[in-house]
Amino acid sequence: MSFRLGLGRAVVSFLGFVILFGAFGCKSTPSPIIVGDTYTNIEYEFSLKIPRGWEPVEALPDRVGYLRMLADTDRCSLLLYNEESGGLIAIMNNTNRIAYEKYFDISFEQWDKIILKLKGSFEEDLQDLVFTHAVHTENLYTTQQNYFVNQYAYKPEKIYRVETSFALDGQRAHLNFDSFLFPCRNSQSCETIIILTCLDSDLAQNQADYQDVLYSLHAHDYYE
C-alpha cells in the first residue's frame, strides 16, 4: 500500500484544481519573518499567529513522521510542532495568475465534486477512513468584501474544510485542513491551506490552538 499516493496524490489533485489556472509563486521575494508570535509570509501575502508552545521546525518530528508517507512536506512554507501535545500544523501555499473574481463562476457542485474526488483518492490507500467535508462558496464574496474594506490587512474566510482520521500502525491518526482563497498581488489570487495532524488520542490537546491559527490568518495585498 502506498500511503504517499493516498494523501500526496489527493492533495495534489485538489491543489491542482487551482494550479490549472496558475503556477506556484517565484522564490525571489523576501523570506518569511517572525516577529514576536506573528509569522508573516511576504511571497504569499499572509500572516498568522504562532500559538504558545508551538515551534517552527525544518523537518518532521518522529511523532508525526507518518506524514512523510502521505505528502511532500517540502511544499510547506511553515511547519509548527508542539512537543508536549504531539501536534503538527503545516501551511501550504499557491499563487494563481488569474483574477479572484473568476472563482465566482465555479458552482458549489463543482467544488463539492473536487472534494469528493479527494475522498476517493483517500479511500484507495488509507485504512478504515473516516472523512467529512464542508464547502463554503459564499465565503468567496465575504472575503472580497473584507478586501474592499482594507486590502492591506483583511480576513480571508475558508472556502472548504476536510477532516479525516484513519488507521495507522495499530493507532488512529487525525488530519484535517482548511483552505483559504483570497485576492493578492492586485490582480491575482492566493491560496493558503492550513493543516493539522496528530494521533487521534492527541486531538483534544491540539484543536484549540489550531482554531486560533485559523482565526488569526490575515491577508495583506500591498500592490497598487
Domain ranges of the chain: 3-202+211-219
87 phi, psi to nearest 5 deg: -100, 150
The answer to whether 147 and 221 have CB atoms below 8 angstroms apart is: yes
Q: Degrees (nearest 5) of the Cα angle 134, 63, 66?
A: 60
With 70 as the cut, is the pLDDT of residue 15 above it?
no
Q: Which pLDDT score, from 0 to 100, does residue 30 have?
A: 57
Q: Is the model's pTM score more than 0.75?
A: yes
Choose between 2 and 56: higher pLDDT.
56
pLDDT digits (tens, 9 = 90+) for 89-111: 999 888 888 889 999 999 999 99
Q: Which pLDDT score, from 0 to 100, does residue 47 have?
A: 97
Tell me how crowded residue 96 is: count the other CB atoms within 10 A of its CB: 23
For residues 200 and 222, what is the distance between their CA atoms, to the nearest angstrom? 40
Residue 133 in grid coordinates: 467535508
What is the mean pLDDT of the segment spanning 35-52?
Answer: 94
3-202+211-219: CATH topology is: Protein Transport Mog1p; Chain A (3.40.1000)
With 50 as the cut, is the pLDDT of residue 12 above it?
no
Which helix (H) or strand (E) covers residue 41, if one does? strand 38-41
pLDDT digits (tens, 9 = 90+) for 23-38: 333 344 457 899 999 9
Q: Which pLDDT score, from 0 to 100, does residue 224 have?
A: 60
For residues 20 and 34, what is the distance between their CA atoms, to the nearest angstrom? 32
Q: Which residues are registered as beta bridge partners of 46?
A: 41, 219
Which helix (H) or strand (E) covers residue 46, if one does? strand 46-49
What is the mean pLDDT of the segment spanning 58-73?
Answer: 80
The answer to whether 84 and 78 have CB atoms below 8 angstroms apart is: no
